[in-house]
Amino acid sequence: MRKAIFISVTILTIVLLFGFGLSTNMNQTANSEENPWVTEIDQLIKQDARIQGALVGISVRSAKTGELLYDHMGNTRLRTASNMKLLTAAAALNVLGEDYVFRTEVFTDGRIKGNQLIGNLFLKGKGDPTLQSSDFEQIAEDLESMGVTKIKGNIIGDDTWFDDIRYSPDLVWSDEHTYYGAQVSALTASPNQEYDAGTVIVNVQPGDHEGEKAKIKVKPETNYINIVNQAKTVAENKESKLFIERNHGSNQVIVKGTIPIQSLQREEWISVWEPTGYALDLFTRALQKQGISWNGSILYQKAPEKIKRLVVHESMPLSDLLVPFMKLSNNGHAEVLVKEMGKANKGEGSWEKGLEVMREQLTNYGLDTDSMVLRDGSGISHVNLVPANQISDLLYKVRQEKWFRTYVNALPIAGKEERMTGGTLRYRLKDIKAEVIAKTGTISTVSSLSGYMKSGNGKELIFSILINNVTNEEVGRSIEDKIIHILNDQ
């Protein structure tokens, strides 16, 4: 009897399982018939030989309801590249707020008597990645307006607002001299209004005559960089072959190779070694320009607690900083924001504490941080792992935030050639009517694109595309654009 009952139950179970499976397949078929673009994307992934052997995570949601409309490996952990910045920006807006500003302060442990400051002068950085030569000059002007023309003491740089770990854990050595691999310091400087903190711009032009050395300038003017000029001017019909690199552990920049006479100038952003010293060099130059002298040394140390603040300089608010951060995919901004979140919430400006805050913020949105590996804020690490469905889910949920307009305003807009509008998407997707506002991402073997779009039929979508293990990142971008074209036609 027991055996008969067991057989009956087993048969019933098989029937139920079969029926469930049949029902699921029928729903998928119906979904494909109702949405032919689902089949098109499936076929693209299966048939395009360029991504055979690659991993492709795709998540598409309704922007109105958050409903998952398409999912291909959406729960698989994949490297994000700069799509990580979507997570960093959302967390930073929550923790710091749209109006948050970075402060740079000048203190003294002495007193002003007549035109003299009797005591040491401290320049304390608090993470501002936007400081330029003009800002240091303004600080110097403020000191001079107090009557100070002489300092009887030392000029001291204080970068202890953050820890002294300059590089994120997985930055590869070959990126150290690049603008996107610059060191992170609480006291740093940028060469222009793209705000690549901790870098200088090396400008190379041909000499006036063939055979002469190339002409080289550094912006901003600084004694912190030592240029070794090995570049030669060659005939107009010769090829330009310039190499600009900084030696590891030093600020010696080697410029070598050839540049044809009458050719266009070449500019390269090169990171400095120890940006605290770079900022302090620009500050002391500003003091000299303002006619302020000192009789002590230039030092680096933590300022004492009980000192008098003389000047405070504030950065632009975070709402404005997000534009160059996201439009131009600025790695340095991402890592500064991670450390600043750690400082604000945990009292420690480090990657460890900052990423801890990020995980807490993502968890508050209902995201499964156990399914992620977060190693930095920029996405330059090849160890970062996030599922596409988690990214699209975040993009849906932040639409309810009061700061969402600031968030989406900072994202690149496809096909808009103005640099601070189109950003890293300014030359892509120019041939479709869809409105695409999204974050790009590229590191070696990885391409990604996640954001918002309104299709040609007016349907609002949220999408995340993570492509890993491609042999050419341009292939990844091509696949992403094809997927957007397919979504545009739905």
489: pLDDT confidence band, cut at 50, 70 and 90?
confident
Residue pLDDT, tens place only, 300-335: 999 999 999 999 999 999 999 999 999 999 999 999
| Active-site option among 315, 319, 329, 378 | 329
Of 211, 212, 179, nearest in space to 198 by CA: 179
Give long-range contacts, CB 8 A cutoff, 24+ apart: 48-51: 48/479, 50/470, 50/472, 50/475, 50/478, 50/479, 51/467, 51/470, 51/475, 51/476, 51/479
pLDDT of residue 34: 59
User: pTM score, two decimals?
Assistant: 0.92
Would you call 329 a catalytic residue per the annotation?
Answer: yes
* Mean pLDDT, range 17-24, rounded to an integer: 31
Residue pLDDT, tens place only, 374-428: 999 999 999 999 999 999 999 999 999 999 999 999 999 999 999 999 999 999 9
| Active-site option among 82, 381, 392, 455 | 82
pLDDT of residue 125: 98
Residue pLDDT, tens place only, 137-183: 999 999 999 999 999 999 999 999 999 999 999 999 999 999 999 99
Beta bridge partners of 21: none
* Mean pLDDT, range 465-473, rounded to an integer: 97
pLDDT of residue 278: 98
| 24 has pLDDT over 70 | no
pLDDT of residue 3: 36
pLDDT of residue 456: 84
| Active-site option among 59, 85, 378, 392 | 85
pLDDT of residue 365: 96
| 9 has pLDDT over 90 | no
Residue pLDDT, tens place only, 231-251: 999 999 999 999 999 999 999
Higher pLDDT, 487 or 6: 487
pLDDT of residue 20: 29
| 28 has pLDDT over 70 | no
5: pLDDT confidence band, cut at 50, 70 and 90?
very low
Would you call 82 a catalytic residue per the annotation?
Answer: yes
Q: Provide, rounded to the nearest whole percent, the portion of the chain with pLDDT above 90.
A: 90
**What does pLDDT average to over the chain?**
92
pLDDT of residue 16: 31
Would you call 381 a catalytic residue per the annotation?
Answer: no
| Window from 58-62, 69-73, 387-391, 430-434 with minimum mean pLDDT | 430-434
Residue pLDDT, tens place only, 439-454: 999 999 999 999 999 9
Q: Which domains does the chain have, with CATH numbers?
A: 37-99+319-488 (3.40.710.10), 103-165+275-316 (3.50.80.20), 199-271 (no CATH)
Query: Alpha-carbon distance 256 to 26, whole Å?
Result: 65
Backbone angles phi, psi at 481, to 5 degrees: -65, -35
pLDDT of residue 33: 53
pLDDT of residue 2: 36
pLDDT of residue 394: 98
Residue pLDDT, tens place only, 346-368: 999 999 999 999 999 999 999 99
| 127 has pLDDT over 60 | yes
* Strand-pair category, 215-219 with 199-205: antiparallel
pLDDT of residue 457: 85
